[in-house]
Copies of this chain bind each other. A is one copy, B any other.
Amino acid sequence: LDGTAKEHRINYPKQQRSLVRYNYILDVAATLFASEGYENVGTNHIAAQAGVSVGSFYRFFSDKEALVTALVERYINRLDESLPQVTDTSVPMATVVEAMLTGVLEFDRHNASFAQILTTTQAGQLANAAITIHLTLKGWVEQMLKLYFPSVQPDAIHLCAASGMGIVKGMLTMTQPPDLIPFEVVLEEMVVTLMAYVEAFMRKHAS
């Protein structure tokens, strides 16, 4: 964004012991970010809470931003493992959509800060993180749409995926204050909305 492009580096641990520490720091950071807000959580605080020294923290992460990058990477890896893979259209799309949304909501429940980071719109260190997750998920959605609607133009697919992402991200916040709507209810409304949208969209864009 500003060209100064500091090099943010993550030192991926090779030892087992280090790996545990590394992951624990990420856990602690994610939890703190969720409850206090990213800007209100210092690196010293994270390190202390994780039971390591700041020095150790900076051996793993060159930067506060590198920590976020690592967090995002882990989110994406875990999502990749836990979300259903769709390779053929033998299953009705509604089923797939429901499975994916269930997966995402479930994922958010077990991965602190996920939705908060994904929905960040304020410029700042979190912004790039949000974009990375957004683009990854949107790519997956596009793949799925292409599978189910092979004859639809790429541009339309892209638009549909972007809208879908917007809908999911927006409705994801319904579980949080001030709405505090239960997960299952949100899930149901999400499925309804997405299916209704996709159907209407495809009716219009069917070649």
Could you tell me the distance in whole angstroms from the C-beta of A34 to the nearest C-beta in chain B? Answer: 8
Whether A37 is near chain B, meaning CB under 8 Å from some CB there, is yes
Question: How would residues 169 to 187 of chain A score, 1 for a CB under 8 Å from any chain B CB and 0 otherwise?
Answer: 1111110111101000100
Could you tell me the distance in whole angstroms from the C-beta of A113 to the nearest C-beta in chain B? Answer: 9
Contact of B121 with A176 in the complex, beta carbons under 8 Å: yes
* Given A37-B127, A124-B40, A174-B166, also A192-B200 (CB < 8 A): yes
Copies in the complex: 4
Could you tell me the distance in whole angstroms from the C-beta of A3 to the nearest C-beta in chain B? Answer: 14
A2: nearest chain-B partner, CB-CB: B36
Contact of B177 with A167 in the complex, beta carbons under 8 Å: no
Query: When chains A and B are docked, how far (Å) is the Cα of A131 from the Cα of B38?
Result: 18
Interface residues on A, range: 35 or more
Query: When chains A and B are docked, how far (Å) is the Cα of A119 from the Cα of B189?
Result: 19
Query: When chains A and B are docked, how far (Å) is the Cα of A28 from the Cα of B32?
Result: 32
Whether A197 is near chain B, meaning CB under 8 Å from some CB there, is yes
Q: Of B167, B185, B204, which contacts A171 at CB under 8 A? A: B167
Query: Could you say which residues of chain B place their CB within 8 Å of the CB of A163?
Result: 171, 174, 189, 193
Contact of A159 with B197 in the complex, beta carbons under 8 Å: no
Residues 185-202 of A contacting B (Cβ, < 8 Å): 185, 189, 192-193, 196-197, 199-201
Query: When chains A and B are docked, how far (Å) is the Cα of A38 from the Cα of B39?
Result: 10
Contact of A178 with B134 in the complex, beta carbons under 8 Å: yes
Query: When chains A and B are docked, how far (Å) is the Cα of A162 from the Cα of B179?
Result: 7
Whether A123 is near chain B, meaning CB under 8 Å from some CB there, is yes
Query: When chains A and B are docked, how far (Å) is the Cα of A123 from the Cα of B135?
Result: 24
A204: nearest chain-B partner, CB-CB: B192
